[in-house]
Amino acid sequence: MGPLVPMLFLVPIFLGCAYLFSGIPWISALLVLAPVGMVIEYFRQFSNFAKTDPDRLQSEEYRYEMKRIQVVAAKELSTPVPLNELNLTDPISNPSNPMPTLESVNLHRLPSKGGVE
């Protein structure tokens, strides 16, 4: 999906040009239909990926962990490997801003419902 995202930045440019050429109806119509087609194609490609290969829409970390699990499973070991020996990292929501732990949240400092303490 990455190469299709910059295409969406062209949508406002085409619409701005359509406004500038509003005196010439056929050019204006072409400049409006082009971004509509771009947006439709983007969502068509997105739905295609979501149906056929949803893992490609996941983060790189997720795909890396899935590949590690597949490599371990592909070794066809005679005995199963315990889960705690796989050294998988815990899932996180945002690597640059991780969720706070319950101990780090000071519940007494939360604002009251009225907004005034």
Domain boundaries, the chain: 2-54
Which is more confident, 34 or 92? Answer: 34
Instruction: State the SS3 of 32-98.
Output: HHHHHHHHHHHHHHHHHHHHHCHHHHCCHHHHHHHHHHHHHHHCCCCCCCCHHHCCCCCCCCCCCCC
pTM score: 0.47
Q: What is the pLDDT of residues 60-117, one digit of tens each?
A: 787 788 888 777 777 766 676 676 676 766 665 666 776 667 676 665 555 555 555 4
Which of 9, 52, 54, 17 is closest to 33 using CA atoms?
Answer: 17
Token representation of residue 86: 């796989």
